A and B are shown apart, each in its own frame.
Chain A
Amino acid sequence: MTWLRCLMLGALLALPVQPAVAQDNPGPLRIEITEGVIEPLPIAIPTFIAETPAAEEWAQRLTQVVADDLTGTGLFRRIPQDAFISPVTEFTPQVDYANWKAINAQGLIMGAVSVSDDGRLTVKFRLHDVFAESELGQGLQLGGSTNSWRRLAHKVADQVYSRITGEDPYFDSRVVFVSERGPKNDRRKRLAVMDYDGANVQFLTDSDAIVLNPRFSPTGDRVLYTSYETGFPRIYEINVGTVSRTPLPIPGEDMTFAPRYAPDGRTVVFSLTQNGNSDIYRLQPGGSPERLTSAPSIETAPSYSPDGNRIVFESDRSGTQQLYVMPASGGEPQRISFGPGRYGTPVWSPRGDLIAFTKQNEGRFHIGVMRTDGSEERLLTASFLDEGPTWSPNGRVIMFTRETAGASGESALYSVDISGRNLKRVSTDGAASDPAWSPLLD
């Protein structure tokens, strides 16, 4: 037996020799990856090159705003310039990618700024995908007056953001809000507009009357808001450019509030209280208000879907305040919120896939999002008082009002990514509330 054993063992050892040498190409190795990391993308933003002596200061400022825009999203991290291996001294399409790979820069933004004699600012930039060793998109040149330098920077940042994330941008946008001054028992409220990052504040109204719930038109040139200047709430429309305002043509002396434009920019939906019963109405250009709901309960805070076919609103017809969706022309509403607590101020995302809302539950306020059918509810924030969400033009970020407790409590504007990350305060000069984001500017 032993010899047989040896023989077979020998044969066994001898057999694989040939195939082992000859075998090849067993097919691709397949791997599935389901776990990644969530962290800011490191990008290099060398200070833009000043192509004219006068552009030195502008280059510094522009670079800073571009960097602030990108890092402010929480999706990017700027690599300190002193970590750069070789300084960027000229604006050329050639890049030594190895130097940027070495510091793990995944994106590289190179820019150049020049100022003409008549004060016109020109910005050029190129975005490089370092690890793919190629330019991401084409180089771009933007021009404008020195007064609009921040917008130029925002546009550059928008391009970078959009090319890297594949999403629509939102930096070149504005926010209308209610600026608050003075103590709590004598709060002076004024309507104001600012850049999305809090810069360039411009007041639209004086502080004679209480103003509430400003809403940008889809074109960004007009604002609807509610004012108490006659003693009870009425809706006005104000032109942002000329600051001229007109009351919404609604007959009667009923209280009207919570206005919002339809996507067409002309039709307006709002709440109207008649004999103590609030319902939702629609006002089309040249027409008279049409009643869309007819329940004995309170219906308010209507918001159109981006396609203009549906309206989401809040109602307490079930006994507690909940969210409902109905056709834009009225009809049977369908309840979409079923969780514990009370839901209010729904706002349809510009993307159309989500609805943001304020939720009050167990003594705390939350800003949350849910699918348009009410599924996948997620709460993004929680505090003593969070309310009034508004969407960034690309549906990625939500801005809202956060108020602190107590007699010295103040309201401020906050923004949060729809993933629940990157919660931060929007810098405003003094207290602020009721933000409403504009569309992306032209």
Chain B
Amino acid sequence: MRTYLYISAAGHALLLGVALFGGFFVREELPPPEVAEVSVVSEEEFAALTRPEEGPAISDAAPVAQPPAQEDETPEAPEAEAPPETAEAPPAQDPDQPDATPESLPEQTPDAEVSDAPPEAPAAPDDSDPSPEPTAPTPRPAPRVAPEAAPPPPPDAEEAPVVTESTTPDPAPAPEQETVEEQEPTAPPEASTEIVTEAERPTTAPESSPRPPGRPTRPIQTAEAEQEPTPQPEPEPEPEPEPEPEPEPEPEEPTAPQTPGSTAEASSDSVSGAVNDALASLRDQEQSGQTAPTQGEPAGPPLTRGERDALRVAVQQCWNVDVGSEAASVVVTVGFELDREGRVVGNDVRMISAEGGGDSAQRTAFGAARRAVLRCQSQGRDGFDLPDEKYAQWRNVEVTFNPEEMRLR
């Protein structure tokens, strides 16, 4: 019998041991705690929890009421409520606040419920705190101005032509007048014809467009500075110290998330998918044959759309197209090499191909393309603004200049 007892005891002990140390209970505990927490907390703090919930329901009014209420408390509470109702639109931004101040809220939320506030509101803004209101009122006036300022609309309609003339001339006509002085007296009556006006529009368009590209590239600039390590003896000494120790680890992290990120974000969850991607990219790189390891620089991830656009815009704002010439029918492709500063090496821009037009037109088209590249590399800063860690991606550039759309304009 005892042997059976021992066996049974040992078996149970083993079972218990496995159960305890094998992780069964541990695993089970993981889910339950979440449930337990919810249920346990409920009673005491339930009130507090539920009221914040009410807060969001009335959220528009509640959050705004907080700041004034804390300062002035009861007497001015109603007054302070006035702003929220009018300023219902902005308060939506403050959903975070209810969590932070659950205690003070409950008392004030009922105040907010008082719908009688609106009539009192008009008086409130004047008396109430100057500091908080100025910020809130400023957005409000805009919507209100329209209804209140009923008189203004009629003048707008009647005097519309005058207004438009005064606004538009500021940016655009100034340049036009310079080029076409005598056209103006006759142009106004001709405004109906498409072509004269069409032809003049382009002058204003390019000026506004070039600016944006600055943004995408700037953040990368900082990255460049850090990672400009070995190849450059010339550049500033400041950036160099940092990069040298870290060059290798830094690029790793960006490459891992970015390469899969572009294809499928979901892959980040499944580790195996990411590993496969990494392996695949490694295989691709091996197949592509790393021909020029001379500099041993990181190719970096491919240029983002923004970075490509920045380069495109930088060049196009210097590409002056003579739409009336035969050269405007030539599609020309030029190639050049950039150094790390984004400057054309040796100012050498070569023609790769040209389609359409005669020899003379092709030469002219190439000349205009070359001028665009060489001129714009020195606009603003020295060299095109490109991310340094991706140097290998933009070291060699081929730009195709296609004036077809310009010609049709």
- Nearest to A30 among chain B residues (CB) is B398
Docked complex Cα distance between A36 and B399 (Å): 13
Q: Mark A376-392, 1 if CB is under 8 A from B, else 0.
A: 00111111100000000
Among A28, A129, A424, find the residue whose CB has the most chain B CB atoms closer than 10 A.
Answer: A28
Question: Is A120 on the interface with B (CB-CB < 8 A)?
Answer: no
Contact: A34 with B404, CB < 8 Å?
A: yes
Question: Is B30 on the interface with A (CB-CB < 8 A)?
Answer: no
Question: Is A39 on the interface with B (CB-CB < 8 A)?
Answer: yes
For window 226-267 of chain A, which residues contact chain B by CB distance below 8 Å? none
Question: Is A74 on the interface with B (CB-CB < 8 A)?
Answer: yes
Contact: B371 with A106, CB < 8 Å?
A: yes
Contact: B293 with A383, CB < 8 Å?
A: no
| Set B294, B325, B361, B403: member contacting A36, Cβ < 8 A | B403
Which of chain B's residues have a CB closer than 8 A to the CB of A83?
none
For window 236-261 of chain B, which residues contact chain A by CB distance below 8 Å? 248, 251-253, 255-256
Contact: B378 with A101, CB < 8 Å?
A: yes
- Interchain pairs with CB closer than 8 A, number: 245
Contact: A23 with B285, CB < 8 Å?
A: yes
A244 to chain B, nearest CB (A): 37
Which of chain B's residues have a CB closer than 8 A to the CB of A423?
180, 182-183, 186-187, 196
Contact: A24 with B275, CB < 8 Å?
A: no
A210 to chain B, nearest CB (A): 27
For window 374-409 of chain B, which residues contact chain A by CB distance below 8 Å? 374-375, 378, 392-406
Docked complex Cα distance between A415 and B376 (Å): 33
Contact: B316 with A36, CB < 8 Å?
A: yes
Which of chain A's residues have a CB closer than 8 A to the CB of B182?
423-425
Main secondary structure of the interface of B (DSSP, over half): helix
Contact: B400 with A30, CB < 8 Å?
A: yes
- A17-B252, A165-B364 known; A38+B321 contact, CB < 8 A: yes
Question: Is B264 on the interface with A (CB-CB < 8 A)?
Answer: no
Which of chain B's residues have a CB closer than 8 A to the CB of A75?
322
Docked complex Cα distance between A106 and B376 (Å): 12
Interface size class of A (residues with CB under 8 A): 35 or more
For window 357-403 of chain A, which residues contact chain B by CB distance below 8 Å? 364, 366, 378-384, 396, 402
- A19-B285, A39-B203 known; A31+B196 contact, CB < 8 A: no
| Set A22, A34, A104, A132: member contacting B406, Cβ < 8 A | A34
Contact: B290 with A31, CB < 8 Å?
A: no
Contact: A132 with B374, CB < 8 Å?
A: yes
- Nearest to A132 among chain B residues (CB) is B370
Contact: B252 with A37, CB < 8 Å?
A: no
A and B contact pairs by CB, cutoff 8 A, 6 listed? A16-B282, A22-B290, A25-B392, A26-B288, A379-B194, A383-B186
